Structure 1
Amino acid sequence: MAAIAAVLVSGCAGSPSIGVLGAYFPDWLFCIVAGVALTVVIYLILKRLQVDHLLGPSALVYPTLVTFLALAVWLVLFQH
């Protein structure tokens, strides 16, 4: 039983954190901020091109885009 528990908790060995001015923040926090920032950039580009009405319901599209971009940033930048 102890061997099984040791295998299961071995994934908790390193915390995925980034030090910023002496404080440690989790990686996912930076990924969410990047996802929101990239979504705002995409929104502004689509608004400027006047094609934002083609996407569908905004309440569904933009949160999905934030999630997709946050996960993409995590996959690209924070794979150890």
Structure 2
Amino acid sequence: MSCLSIGVAACSASPSRNILGSYFPTWMVCALLGIVVVVVIRGVLVKTGIDATLPVPVIVYLSMWTAATLAIWLLWLA
């Protein structure tokens, strides 16, 4: 029974940030920052002409968003 209580007690608090008096989950803030990073990267790629040569832009940008979101999460919370 004690092993079960240890597993449940570990989930008592989730990481959240107080933004303008409301608590937002940290993953949501990291995802929004990841979108901002990818928009900036896309602007650079469009200016340099690399955007036109991407094989599957949707997959490339989705992968960049995932990588940026996870990198922000690791840098912020690690």
TM over 0.5, shorter chain: yes
**Is 1:64 aligned with 2:63?**
yes
Match of 1:73 in 2: 72
SS at match of 1:19: strand
Aligned residues with identical type, % of pairs = 33
TM-score by length of 2: 0.90
RCO greater where, 1 or 2, for CA within 8 Å and sep 6 or more? Answer: 1
Question: Which shifted more, 54-63 or 67-76?
Answer: 54-63
Match of 1:16 in 2: 15
Q: How many residue pairs are counted as aligned between the two chains?
A: 78
Q: How does 1:20-31 map to 2 (within 5 A)?
A: 20-31=19-30
For structure 2, the residue ranges without an aligned partner over 5 or more in a row are none
SS at match of 1:72: helix
